[in-house]
Every structure is written in structure tokens, then in C-alpha cells.
Chain A
Amino acid sequence: GAVVSQHPSRVICKSGTSVKIECRSLDFQATTMFWYRQFPKQSLMLMATSNEGSKATYEQGVEKDKFLINHASLTLSTLTVTSAHPEDSSFYICSARQGAAEKLFFGSGTQLSVL
């Protein structure tokens, strides 16, 4: 089956620093990738949709200058949390799909803790 690799799985950083999270599709070309945020015991909240070679589309209320998304290739998308603050601490998850296929394949998530 399709595999999406997400790294790192856990990161602890100081307030004010930037953190980059990578999402790779290992055995398929991901034309679209999605980034989510999940708080404890809550559902996944879509942050943005990323299409290869074009600018990401952000959901309402998500600051595009704070959460930078790059989808430079068909197998890699990155999410950079800039100038992270404690309120940015959360579980971040990516998903990917191939072309017009309906199935989404999820990464294993990244637990971000900002001190």
C-alpha cells in the first residue's frame, strides 16, 4: 500500500525558533498534500491544501506567514512553523493523495512542543 513518511515524529524547540516538518510519499506521486493540526482528544483540523508546483491554499483563520508550506516536488511537502510559540504546540499530520484518487494516506504525525 501507499506509504507516507513524516519527519520528525517529535520535536521540542524554544519559543521564537522555526521548525520544519517533512512529508514524503514513498511509493507514489502525491499531486495533492494536506496539512492538519490536532489537539489532544480532538479531531483533525485542516490547515492547508498543497498542490505540487503551486501556492498552498490555507483554511480560514490559518496564518500563511506563520505556517509556510512548500510542495516543490511530487513526493515532498514541507510545513515550516515560523517563530513558534507555546500556543503552536500541537500534533501536526500530513496526508497525500495521488491525482484524482479519493484515498488519502496519512503520515505518522509530528508532536511539536514549544517551550
Chain B
Amino acid sequence: GENVEQHPSTLSVQEGDSAVIKCTYSDSASNYFPWYKQELGKGPQLIIDIRSNVGEKKDQRIAVTLNKTAKHFSLHITETQPEDSAVYFCAASDQAGKSTFGDGTTLTVKP
């Protein structure tokens, strides 16, 4: 089955700095890679996603890159704000819609 590894497990940055979270996956059949933000006591919220036929996608301060050959994808948050503090999960999904999640990254943005 699919295996997703996510790094780092914790990340602390100063407000205004950039944050980068990286994930690798093992199954070449995975073709959809979403990123979720989860705040304490809440369900995950989709913040950006990318499909396997695209190398990069950007939405305001958030961007995701995908290297299909190397089987890794990354989340980039620029100009971080304290409200960006949360747990971020990457996932790899197959065509059946079954998702495998990374272990999560706790991002802390210090004012």
C-alpha cells in the first residue's frame, strides 16, 4: 500500500518568514495530493491540492510543488501569520479516492 512520510514534525518560524513542509510517497499510482490544515479540536480543512499532471500550483501565500519522478511534494507558505499556526497534513490519493495521510507538521508562527 501507499506510504507517506512528512517532515518536519514540528516547525517554528517568525511571523513574516516562510515555512516549507515536505512529503514523500511510495505508490506511483497516486495521482492527487492535497494539503490540509487542522486546528485543535476541528476536522481537517483543504487548503490546496495538486494533481499528478501539474508541477506547481499557487494560491496567494500558499504554493505546492510536485516532483512526480522523485515522488515528493512540498507545501510553501510565505509571509506567515500567527493564524497560520496549526497542524498541516499532506496526503496522497489514488483514483479510488482512498487517501493516505502523512503524520502531520505542527507549525507555530511566533508574533
Task: List residues of A whose CB falls within 8 A of some B CB.
Answer: 4, 6, 32, 34, 41-44, 46, 49, 91, 93, 95, 97, 100, 102-109, 111
Label chain A's interface by main secondary structure: strand
**What are the 7 tightest A-B residue pairs by CB atom distance, in nearest-first order?**
A106-B43, A102-B32, A109-B43, A43-B101, A108-B43, A43-B103, A106-B44
A103-B106 Cα distance, complex, nearest whole Å: 23
- CB contact under 8 A between A44 and B89, given known A104-B34, A108-B43: yes
Contact check, A102 vs B93: say whether CB atoms are below 8 A apart: yes
Contact check, A104 vs B51: say whether CB atoms are below 8 A apart: no
Residues on B with C-beta less than 8 A from A108 are 42-43
Residues on B with C-beta less than 8 A from A102 are 32, 34, 49, 51, 93, 97
Q: A93 to nearest B CB, angstroms?
A: 5
Q: B85 to nearest A CB, angstroms?
A: 15
Task: List residues of B whose CB falls within 8 A of some A CB.
Answer: 32, 34, 36, 41-46, 49, 51, 89, 93, 97-99, 101-104, 106
When C-beta atoms are compared, the residue in chain B nearest to A57 turns out to be B98
- CB contact under 8 A between A103 and B34, given known A43-B89, A44-B101, A97-B97: yes
Name the contact of B97 in the complex, choosing from A41, A104, A107, A109 (C-beta under 8 A). Answer: A104
A107-B34 Cα distance, complex, nearest whole Å: 16
Chain B CB count within 10 A is highest, among A34, A91, A93, A104, for A104
A93-B99 Cα distance, complex, nearest whole Å: 14
Contact check, B46 vs A105: say whether CB atoms are below 8 A apart: yes
When C-beta atoms are compared, the residue in chain A nearest to B51 turns out to be A102
- CB contact under 8 A between A93 and B97, given known A43-B103, A43-B104: no
